[in-house]
Amino acid sequence: MAKVLILGANSAIAREVANILASKGHTLYLASRNVERLRRFAQHLETKYGAEVFTGEFDATAYASHPLFFKKVLEEMGEVDWVLLAFGYLGDHERAVSDFSEARKILEINLMGAVSVLSVIAPYMEGRGRGVIAGISSIAGDRGRADNYVYGSAKGGLTVYLSGLRQRLFRKGVKVLTVKPGFVDTPMTSGLDLPKRLVSKPEKVAQDIVKAMERGKDVLHTPLYWWFIATAIRCIPEFVFKRMKFKR
């Protein structure tokens, strides 16, 4: 059984991942900003599955707190086998294009927060010579689009960071998984006008994430059809792409 740390564990996708992992008997450490909500969820998992679940406060942008946070995780849970980075912030793109404070928030939560906490966790994993680090990036990080390029650039940065980390840790026995979901029906996307047929349920994305972590996969497009969409989008020449209009 693995000991799993989930960062941003209040996310709808993360909660579904936690459900699956708890049902399989893994030990969990749920961390996020809203600790009260985490505690209620942990109690639910303990009652339903008899799982061992720890909770703790984690803010991706409180960079200076990350070393102490991880020390506390290790003290409480003993060790960490798998890590899932699930925190994220879509933000208000229209505001972000002209208001740097919003753009900065998007970049800080999605990219800087991940880099900061991984600079503490990755050396620990490297030292142990085993384990899995999974980060939820996005299809949005594959190519800049007019209506989400600030969030897209943060996720693009995360995708590149995870790719480099994977190469670095490959020979050390540590697997690094980049998760690229398409549109998922969660609080992050509520109220957005998305093409309904392309919106998936967090339960499906969570199943794919758990399978990919168990198999030590490198990159996961979820659901799978996003691999075809992403590949097609990447192949469009820039002089055509700049003229195209996307529904999100």
Ligand X SMILES: NC(=O)c1ccc[n+]([C@@H]2O[C@H](COP(=O)([O-])OP(=O)(O)OC[C@H]3O[C@@H](n4cnc5c(N)ncnc54)[C@H](OP(=O)(O)O)[C@@H]3O)[C@@H](O)[C@H]2O)c1
Residue numbers annotated as active site? 151
Among 20, 33, 46, 248, binds ligand X (CB under 6 A): 33
From candidates 123, 187, 195, 216, binder to ligand X by CB under 6 A: 187
Contacts of ligand X in 110-169 (CB under 6 A): 113, 136, 138
CB of 35 to ligand X, least distance (A): 8
DSSP structure string for 171-193 = TTT-EEEEEEE-EE-SGGGTT--
Mapped onto helix, strand or coil, the DSSP state of residue 131 is: coil
Q: Read off the DSSP letter of residue 144.
A: -
Among 84-92, 169-177, 213-221, 236-244, the segment contacting ligand X (CB under 6 A): 84-92
> Is residue 97 a contact point for ligand X (CB under 6 A)?
no
Residue 116 or 172 with smaller CB distance to ligand X: 116
Measured at CB, which residue is nearest to ligand X? Answer: 88
Q: Does 10 bind ligand X (CB under 6 A)?
A: yes
Residue 184 in contact with ligand X, rule: CB under 6 A: yes
Our finding on whether 203 is near ligand X (CB under 6 A) is no
Nearer CB in complex with ligand X: 43/173 = 43
- Nearest distance from residue 171's CB to ligand X, in Å? 28
- Work out how close the CB of 167 gets to ligand X at its nearest, in angstroms, rounded to a whole number: 22
Q: Which of 29, 69, 82, 89 binds ligand X (CB under 6 A)?
A: 89
Minimum distance between the CB of residue 243 and ligand X, rounded to whole angstroms? Answer: 25
Which of 73, 103, 66, 106 shows the shortest CA–CA distance to 88?
106
- Give 131 or 141: the residue with its C-beta nearer to ligand X: 141
**Residue 42 DSSP SS3:** helix
Select the span of 29-37, 47-55, 206-214, 216-224 touching ligand X (CB under 6 A): 29-37
List phi, psi (to 5°) of 194: -105, 150
Q: Which residues of 71-94 are buried (b: 16+ CB within 10 A; e: fewer)?
A: ebbeeebeebbbbbbbbbbbbebe
What is the smallest separation between the CB atom of 175 and ligand X, expressed in angstroms? Answer: 19
Residues in touch with ligand X (CB under 6 A): 8, 10-13, 32-34, 58-61, 86-89, 109, 113, 136, 138, 181, 183-184, 186-189
